[in-house]
Chains A and B, each alone.
Chain A
Amino acid sequence: MALVEITDYGLFCAQAGVYIDPWKPVERALITHAHSDHARYGHKSYLVHHHSIPLLQKRLGNQYYMGIEYGELVNINGVQFSFHPAGHVLGSAQIRLAYKGEIWCISGDYKLQEDGVSMPFEPVKCNTFVTESTFGLPVFNWANPTKVFNEINHWWHQQASQKRTAIIFAYSLGKAQRILKGINHDIGKVWVHNAVHELNEAHVQVGIKLKPWEVLTIDAKPQPGDLIIAPTSAETEGWLKRFAPCATASASGWMAIRGTRRRSSADRGFVLSDHADWIGLNTAIKSTQCENVWVTHGYAATFSKWLRENGLNAIDIQTPFTDQPVMDLPTEN
């Protein structure tokens, strides 16, 4: 029997009796990171990188969490488990399993760019690599983040000079903190939506240095020229009216596609992603020196075909992640 198999509940290691990022409630779950499609509600116990605990606390409340350090070894019924930096969001980890000389690495979500918040990605040598493929097409290649932040600063400055409030919509865990850290605070004051504020606090709690922010409470009054960071879900007409005159932008890897950019209700799109781009995915896979690849989460069929043509034993596996009509719901989890 393979060391890891795919079941109705998720990726399962039968020898150890544990699931990795299961999508149905189980006894023992190992969680790669705190995004909601990976860390779900209802498991009896959660083994996570210890930085993920305050994040999960905000999302799932009090649960039975166990924290682990990067590189620390845990033995479960003969299987050796360890967590390694994935560079995706705070506390994100690739989970390594070793048993009788066979090594697996389940990457969860990852990126190779450094974001200044999460621990940078470290390749893990393995026989079988389970990879995401959210942006597994050659049309997705990210620009240097410095360049993107220059664009964002320029845009914010433009809005400020026209006496408008600038609003950036971004995923509240990971992207929001990355933006808060990356932008130039000399342009104006930065406000964050309460959902972002709570996650910011969880970052600070584990010693991550962010930059100053104001909380966007019900009666907060941002001035023209200020910047607001909010999750996409906050955007409703009534909410936006509070800040008129304002300009909106969306920060996501999907903004690389003109069609998505134009369809989005935001005025501007910035291409900023916490996932690996095409080159990143290929580089990461090469650096693991694996023979087998399981592809999940995105353009799995296309990307695995490409890997097979390049001599790897690659298959796409069906997970609830891949079922998402990715082009239609551009939410990066």
Chain B
Amino acid sequence: MKTFVDLFHQIDQTAKTTEKVEALTSYLSSASDEDKVWTIALFTGKHPKRIATSTQLKLWAAELAQIPYWLIEESHHIVGDLSETIANVLPDYPNPSNRSLSEWMLALTAVKKQDEERRKAFLIEAWTSFTKHERFVFNKLTSGAFRMGVSQQLVVKAITRHSGIPENTITHRLMGNWSPIDTNYHSLIVASNPLDAISKPYPFCLAYGLETPLETLGTTNEWQAEYKWDGIRAQLILRNKEVFIWSRGEELITAQYPEFANLPNNLPNGTVIDGELLVYKDDRPLPFAAMQKRIGLKKVTAKNLAQSPIVLMAYDLLEYNGEDIREQPLQTRRLLLQKLIEAAHESSSDIPLHLSQAIAFDYWDQLVQERSNAPTIGSEGLMLKRLSSIYETGRKKGNWWKWKVDPMTVDAVLIYAQSGSGRRANLYTDYTFAVWNEEGALVPFAKAYSGLTDAEIKEVDQWIKKNTIDKFGPVRSVKAELVFEIAFEAIQESKRHKSGIAVRFPRILRWRKDKPASEADTLENLRKSIQQ
């Protein structure tokens, strides 16, 4: 357990991803195979369910620490984290346990099925065999919500550095429903799997936002313009009569999109298409909110398929007849892509594959017009790609540009605040903003966290504490006084929200210290922008 606790603290104490990967790699090279599997499981979201409610935890810890229940609660309130509170109210025990991580985790899994007395005895045995540091990490592991400051990608990087197996292969091997209880390290990571090669995606080519005037790009006939769609960027792979879909986050998401299961009948083997997954109904893409209903669904039902059917809006072709064609010019790749899609549509009437249409234009000014029209067809702007460009690896400047519609902004009043989590516990950092309705009341319409400087966050936090009207749980309602300019990407009607609207990606642009609350925007104004 000690080495895992050390790893936790090393990762916890640094914000540098390189140091995190380094710590994880060196841990993997010294840990036992059992501990490796558990660590990989824990770091990729496969954590055990909790074995006690937070009330039980507080009761048992209070009893052990010989302090009243209310004092634990009060301490929890100040510390902001129950695992840490319980770790700290008990002393360092002089007889540290020698059980390994996997031994503790197996014991934990076994005790979950037992009665309350046994579970209590187990926790007390654990608590009294740890130092505070160890107890904190143990509590986190058993809280049912273990989260580490490392993404799956970093875990994959570390495993690759440790094992020498390529990242894409590792990503693929970590997919699926394996459990650390009955999986060994060798079969999970090391054993070669014939599926690896055929499912392998290419790295995505990414674009930067356009920063200079269009004219600086040169002559219009060197460029292709198309709409930019707001769904899930994905790679569709068809090899050996099998379909694989990878998200840009290098997640294998094939199972979530059964729409594409029949494509081996319509597309040749050795095809890799780069595109965007979109919900597509009545000949047009639906806003991202519709897509959200499909994301992360464990089981896709016939109802899901009927209500939010998915298509791939195809942007580019990376592999043709089993050949990597990324070095060929965009112009060539697009022609091949178009040919493939047309042939597919000829073979069947219902192919979930659309070609992202190129916009015809002769003058740059025409694109200005096209971009402003983009929202009316559900697009978030334009993509500009040089016709001679190869398909690059990662984000490169020069040949691909995204040119999004300017974000919409609104001046809104801060009405609720909630303390942040993690590093921002005890600071009020999560804000709810409101605009005026026709009756002259403030209606909340967006929550936003980011956008202020640390100094501003501190200042707002102080202000909130002095201007609280009411507290309910962790939320404070505050005097309607501070005005902030909020930017967002899209707006749509929503029955679930009191305001009747929902905005996407709201964020704080700046603190309008110059504006009194009475001059904040109205709901009516916001509604108007839906129709635009």
Contacts and interface: CB of A to CB of B under 8 A. Distances in A.
A80 interface: no
Interface size band for A: 20 to 34
Contacts of A302: 71, 74
Contacts of A260: 426
Contacts of A262: 12, 422-423
Interface in B60-75: 65, 67-68, 70-72, 74-75
A259 B71 contact: no
B79 interface: yes
Contacts of A139: 75, 78-79, 84-85, 88-89
Given A137-B75, A328-B427, A259 B461 contact: no
Interface in A209-259: 256-259
Given A259-B425, A262-B422, A302-B74, A328 B461 contact: yes
A100 interface: no
Interface in B232-259: none
B465 interface: yes
Nearest to B85: A139
Contacts of A325: 462, 465
Interface in B1-24: 12-14
Contact of B84 (A258, A299, A328): A258
A268 interface: yes
B85 A258 contact: no
27 contacts: A137-B74, A138-B65, A138-B72, A138-B88, A139-B75, A139-B78, A140-B88, A141-B91, A143-B92, A257-B79, A258-B81, A258-B84, A258-B136, A259-B422, A262-B12, A262-B422, A263-B423, A267-B13, A268-B13, A299-B78, A305-B70, A325-B462, A325-B465, A327-B78, A327-B426, A328-B427, A328-B461
A259 B88 contact: no
Candidate in B13, B78, B85 with the most chain A CB atoms within 10 angstroms = B78
A268 B12 CA distance: 11
B80 interface: yes
A309 interface: yes
Contacts of A64: none
Interface in A126-185: 137-141, 143
Interface in A91-143: 137-141, 143
Nearest to B13: A268
Contacts of B88: 138-141, 256
Candidate in A257, A259, A262, A306 with the most chain B CB atoms within 10 angstroms = A259
Interface string A302-329: 1001100100000000000000010110
- The 6 A-B pairs of least Cβ separation, nearest first, read A262-B423, A259-B425, A139-B88, A138-B89, A327-B426, A139-B75
Nearest to B424: A263
Interface of A: 137-141, 143, 256-260, 262-263, 267-268, 299, 302, 305-306, 309, 325, 327-328
A259 B426 contact: yes
A308 B435 CA distance: 48
Contacts of B65: 138
A268 B13 CA distance: 7
A138 B67 contact: yes
A43 B20 CA distance: 54
A307 to B, nearest CB: 11
A201 B146 CA distance: 50
A328 B74 contact: no
Contacts of A309: 68
Contacts of B79: 139, 257, 259
A305 B88 CA distance: 20
A167 to B, nearest CB: 16
A137 B78 contact: yes
Given A138-B67, A139-B88, A139-B89, A259 B75 contact: no
Contacts of A137: 71, 74-75, 78
A138 B71 contact: yes
A267 B14 CA distance: 7
B137 to A, nearest CB: 11
Contacts of A256: 88
Nearest to A269: B13
Interface in B420-460: 422-427, 458
B465 A257 contact: no
A41 B89 CA distance: 39
Contacts of B465: 325, 328
A259 B91 contact: no
A136 to B, nearest CB: 10
A140 B132 CA distance: 12
Nearest to A143: B92
Given A138-B71, A267-B13, A328-B461, 9 more contacts: A138-B65, A138-B67, A139-B85, A259-B80, A262-B423, A263-B427, A302-B74, A325-B465, A328-B462
Contacts of B89: 138-139
B134 to A, nearest CB: 14
B501 to A, nearest CB: 34
